[in-house]
Amino acid sequence: MKIAIIGAGSGYMPGVIRGLLHRADDLAGTELAFHDVDTAHLDVMTRLARGMFSARGAAFTVEAHTGLKPALNGASYIFTTFRPGGLAARHLDESIPLEHGVVGQETAGPGGFLMALRSVPVLLEIASAADPGAWIVNYTNPTNIVTDAVARTTGARIIGLCDQFIGDTEMWADLLGLPFEGLEADWIGLNHATWAQRLRLDGRELDVPLLLDGLEVPGDGATPWRDPSRMAELAKALGFLPNSYSKYYFFHDEVVGELRAKGTTRAQDILAMLPGYYEQVAAESRKADPDPSRERGGGEHGEFAVDVICAIHRDEGRRMIVNTRNGGAVPSLDADAIVEVPSLVGRSGPVPLTMGALPGPVRGLTQAIHAYERLASEAAVTGDRRTALQALMAHPFVRSKHTAEHILDEGLAAHRAHLPQFG
Ligand code: G6P
Ligand code: MN
């Protein structure tokens, strides 16, 4: 069995390697093809993986590739975890919208739209070079737009991943005073726009409205990943649990003010820490038993991806929250929409579970986000400027044709080198 990892120089790789170690027995004998365009980072992660596998006696082989074709050749699973243009491009995604009074964010809104325009052509190239029957297990963002573009326009099999629901469930366990272990939330909707009305602890259904009645809104305590105060405030208004990214929709103007006052983008903050991070990982990779930093992707990220591959490969029929074709799972969204829902994952891929309608207070918003995403996916595939403009005009953050035009013109110019479809 061969797994290709595209973007294997990513800072998130130590977590992926840990995830592979976690399932080393189930995947024994697997050949790993690491691919990246950044050879220095690829070298570090290749040496690290070999070191960690040999220290723990894991039966994996690792080959490093800079050419896409040889990496993909013969791969049954293609794990995609790259960012075209790297963090320099992310900085532009985060700063261009902000100059026009719109939240500048990696995946949500116009920033995510610009990333979709860069990510989709690369995924389409991968899909067309993949062996027939291979599974693309995709983390490249925006994960559901990428998944939609590949699923709609190629014959490739793709499943979209995001581990946000794990961190969010953990945040809600903290807020509600529940143990995280054994807590399960039915997050449904669209990637980075999911909602949970149902919570179970050790399989027992909890009374969510009652829990929210008793919830006290904590003071500030926001980190780059969590904003518990705003999440609690929102949940009390909505009557169910919101995903962390909902703050960009329901506190849009406040967040614009905060992002402007902050002065640096998240991409710049990460760029500032990355050299030290890679140095630490490189130093560990030379040790007999490497223990690399968990500063990037240190949580469940890597384990989740490897668990998804195992669920398909071993036909586990395991319940997992993934991005896949809706069918009738969430009747409030189009049947052919890519939705994020609890699914049973086995040999034929994810089978979404019937979840029922989206809750009224966010139904229209989620439908609007889907309308935007479909237009964004089409624009990213075709390179049609008018469709791209319509996508931005449809996004709930934007609400202005002229703002959409300014962001589009600046974004297309800034990212020209990564947008072959726009000529
Ligand atoms: C979460 C999201 C990912 C996103 C990441 C950004 O994990 O689910 O989709 O890419 O946050 O984290 P960062 O540390 O790069 O800002
Ligand atoms: Mn995500």
Q: What is the pLDDT of residue 224?
A: 83
* E strand or H helix at 368: helix 360-382
* Percent of the chain's residues with pLDDT above 90: 96
Is the confidence at residue 225, as pLDDT, over 90? no
Give just the sign of the alpha carbon dihedral 94, 99, 100, 101: positive
Q: Which atom of ligand 1 is nearest to the CA of 163?
A: 8
What pLDDT digit, counting tens, does each position of 235-251 carry? 999 999 999 999 999 99
What pLDDT is stored for residue 285 in this prediction? Answer: 98
For the chain, list the domains and their CATH numbers: 1-423 (3.90.1820.10)
**CA 303 to centroid of chain Cα atoms:** 14
Q: In the 8-state DSSP scheme, what is residue 329?
A: S
**Short-list 151, 164, 85, CA closest to 377:** 151
Torsion on CA atoms 110, 112, 114, 118, rounded to nearest 10: -170
Ligand 1 pocket, mutate which of 81, 147, 162 (most atoms under 8 A from CB): 162
Question: Per-residue pLDDT for 30 more than 90?
Answer: yes
Centroid of ligand 2 to alpha carbon of 156 (angstroms): 22
Task: Summarize pLDDT for 304-320 with one digit per residue, the tens.
Answer: 999 999 999 999 999 99
Would you state the structure tokens that stand for residue 418, as one six-digit string?
């990564």
pLDDT at 45: 98
Convert the pLDDT of each residue in 70-119 to its tens digit.
999 999 999 999 999 999 999 999 999 999 999 999 999 999 999 999 99
Centre a 10 Å sphere on the Cβ of residue 375 and count the other Cβ atoms it contains. Answer: 22
Quick one: pLDDT at residue 62? 98
pLDDT(220) > 90: no
Ligand 1 mean position to 296 CA, how many Å?
9
Task: Give the binding-site residues of ligand 1, using a 6 Å CB cut-off.
Answer: 106-107, 141, 162-164, 224, 266, 270
Query: pLDDT per residue over 401-421, tens digit each?
Result: 999 999 999 999 999 999 999
C-alpha 243 – ligand 2 centre gap (Å): 11
249 catalytically annotated: no
Ligand 2 mean position, distance from CA 18 (Å): 19
From 146, 164, 265, the mutation candidate for ligand 1 (largest count of ligand atoms within 8 A of CB) is 164
Instruction: Report the b/e string of 33-53 with b at 16+ CB within 10 A.
Output: bbbbebeebbbbbbbbbbbbb
**Model-level pTM?**
0.98
Q: Which of 12, 77, 139, 245 is catalytic?
A: 245
Q: What is the pLDDT of residue 165?
A: 97
- Mean predicted confidence (pLDDT) in 210-229: 91
- Looking at residues 162-186, what average pLDDT do you find? 97
Percentage of residues in the chain having pLDDT higher than 70 = 100
Determine how β-strand 193-201 pairs with β-strand 61-65: unpaired
